[in-house]
């Protein structure tokens, strides 16, 4: 009889300990959720147009976007319809545009998302170049660009299709298409 | 009295060219091949925008009309208002082209092949061989007219003439 009582009391105590631990854990989780900083906007700009000059005062890069939104917690920036111009010393500039963009807080990574178009128009002695792809990853400080997506490059009547691309923007610009390359060249009789 | 080596050299060239132009068994190739678009398949391509070169690498297959060429690397050089230049290197570069009148396919190989995209002449350099049926032409350098399927000249890269033509020989 006494043993049965002890067993019931012990069981109740064990249940109490489990319930207490569960409540404590729940409240800790709620507190953690409460203390997680929210992804909050601290400022935004509309009709952005900024130009970066080189050391000799010539335009080096220009960024135009419909809207630029900055987030307080991770210092990241979102871009709506970004259009970039990369100036070349003695040749026409390269124009890069995408649907949206995201710049990391430390400025190391720029993602150009959705459809991306890269254009360089013709000039005397310079062939035009038009590249269509998706989801570019840019490392601005390294002047490096890459994508895993399908790439379609066009120059006059010639075209090259491939999968995956790397671009080194340091002059002179080098483009590498990584897989399944198909080139097509029209021949003037 | 010694004969002039320059004159000898010229006479030898004339004889070789004459022999090649009269080379039997070589039939006219597809005249239109040189005006057809060029298709290139490869594992990767490096584009140097400033120099106007596209270097195709890895299992490269180039086709232009009935011409099929395989190589380790093919470089296409393009400049505004100029004809595209093609250079193939491989171990070896292989080449084949159909002829117009059902006389079969001309096949060849060399360490290097180069030509203008719309030009008639294809240069094959380094251990070059051209074969049609039982006829074989070997030289260090073969100049091949791809519009007429005629071997125009062969020369040794080492300065000594060492051109071998086998007509109706063993394959």
pLDDT tens digits, B75-91: 999 987 788 999 999 99
- Does the residue B127 lie in any domain? yes
Q: Which residues of A fall within a CB distance of 8 Å from B79?
A: 125, 127
Domain boundaries, position B77 = 35-166
- Does the residue B30 lie in any domain? no
- Does the residue B23 lie in any domain? no
Q: With an 8 Å Cβ cutoff, are A181 and B48 in contact?
A: no
Least confident of A8-12, A24-28, A132-136, B91-95: A24-28
B118 CB within 8 Å of a chain A CB = yes
pLDDT tens, A67-88?
A: 999 999 999 999 999 999 999 8
Q: How crowded is residue A133: how many other Cβ atoms within 10 Å of its Cβ?
A: 23
Most confident of A10-19, A94-103, B29-38, B102-111: A94-103
* B108 close to B142: Cβ distance less than 8 angstroms: yes
3-class DSSP string for B19-88? HHHCCCCCCCECHHHHHCCEEEEECEEEEECCCCEEEEEEEEEEEECCEEEEEEEEEEECCCCCCCEEEE
> Cα–Cα–Cα angle for B53, B68, B34, nearest 5°?
70
Phi and psi (nearest 5°) for B8? -60, -45
Chosen from B42, B47, B86 to mutate, greatest number of chain A CBs within 10 A:
B47
- Does the residue B4 lie in any domain? no
A90 CB within 8 Å of a chain B CB = no
Nearest CA in chain A to B61: A182
- Does the residue B27 lie in any domain? no
* Alpha carbons A140 and A74: distance in angstroms, whole number: 18
pLDDT tens, B98-141?
A: 877 666 889 999 999 999 999 989 999 999 999 987 888 899 99
Q: How crowded is residue A1: how many other Cβ atoms within 10 Å of its Cβ?
A: 5
Grade residue B18 by pLDDT with cuts at 50, 70 and 90: very low
Nearest CA in chain A to B32: A189
What confidence score (pLDDT) does residue A9 get?
81
Mean pLDDT, all residues of chain A? 90
Mean pLDDT, all residues of chain B? 80
B69 CB within 8 Å of a chain A CB = no
pLDDT surpassing 50 at residue B37:
yes
* Alpha carbons B119 and A149: distance in angstroms, whole number: 36
Coil, strand or helix at A32? helix
Scored b (16 or more CB within 10 A) or e, B74-113 reads: bbbbbeeeeebbbbbbbebbbbebbbeeebeebebbbbbb
Of B39, B50, B118, the CB nearest to A172: B50
- Does the residue B137 lie in any domain? yes
B81: CATH: 2.60.450.10
Q: With an 8 Å Cβ cutoff, are B45 and A185 in contact?
A: no
* Alpha carbons B4 and B55: distance in angstroms, whole number: 45
Least confident of A32-41, A107-116, B13-22, B83-92: B13-22
- Per the structure, the count of domains in chain B is 1
Q: Which residues of A fall within a CB distance of 8 Å from B45?
A: 160, 162, 176-177, 181, 183
A129 exposure class (CB count in 10 Å sphere: 0-12, 13-18, 19+): buried
pLDDT surpassing 80 at residue B9:
no
- Does the residue B21 lie in any domain? no
- Does the residue B153 lie in any domain? yes
Q: With an 8 Å Cβ cutoff, are B35 and A189 in contact?
A: yes
What confidence score (pLDDT) does residue A31 get?
62
């Amino acid at each position: 009889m006494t043993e049965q009582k002890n067993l019931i009391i012990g069981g109740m105590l064990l249940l109490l300990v489990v319930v207490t631990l569960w409540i404590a854990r729940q409240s800790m989780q709620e507190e953690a959720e409460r203390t997680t900083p929210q992804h909050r906007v601290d400022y935004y700009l509309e009709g952005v147009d900024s130009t970066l000059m080189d050391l000799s005062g010539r335009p080096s890069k220009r960024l135009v976007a419909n809207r630029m939104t900055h987030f307080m917690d991770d210092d990241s920036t979102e871009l709506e319809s970004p259009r970039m111009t990369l100036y070349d010393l003695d040749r026409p500039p390269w124009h890069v545009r995408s649907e949206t963009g995201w710049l990391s807080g430390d400025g190391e990574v720029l993602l150009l998302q959705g459809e991306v178009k890269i254009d360089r128009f013709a000039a005397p002695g310079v062939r035009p170049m038009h590249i269509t792809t998706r989801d570019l990853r840019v490392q601005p400080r390294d002047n490096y660009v890459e994508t895993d997506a399908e790439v379609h490059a066009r120059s006059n009547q010639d075209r090259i299709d491939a999968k995956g691309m790397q671009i080194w923007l340091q002059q002179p610009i080098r483009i590498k298409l990584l897989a399944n390359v198909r080139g097509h060249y029209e021949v003037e009789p | 009295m010694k004969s002039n080596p320059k004159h000898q050299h010229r006479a030898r060239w004339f004889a070789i060219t004459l022999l090649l132009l009269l080379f039997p068994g070589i039939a006219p190739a597809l005249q239109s091949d040189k005006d057809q678009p060029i298709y290139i398949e490869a594992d990767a391509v490096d584009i140097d925008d400033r120099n106007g070169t596209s270097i195709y690498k890895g299992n490269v297959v180039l086709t232009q009309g009935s011409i099929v060429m395989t190589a380790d690397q093919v470089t296409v050089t393009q400049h505004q208002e100029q004809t595209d230049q093609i250079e193939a290197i491989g171990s070896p570069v292989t080449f084949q082209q159909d002829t117009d009148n059902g006389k079969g396919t001309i096949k060849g190989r060399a360490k290097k092949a180069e030509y203008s995209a719309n030009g008639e002449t294809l240069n094959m350099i380094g251990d070059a061989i051209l074969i049609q049926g039982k006829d074989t032409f070997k030289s260090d350098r073969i100049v091949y007219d791809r519009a007429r399927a005629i071997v125009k000249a062969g020369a040794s890269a080492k300065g000594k003439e060492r051109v071998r033509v086998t007509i109706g020989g063993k394959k």
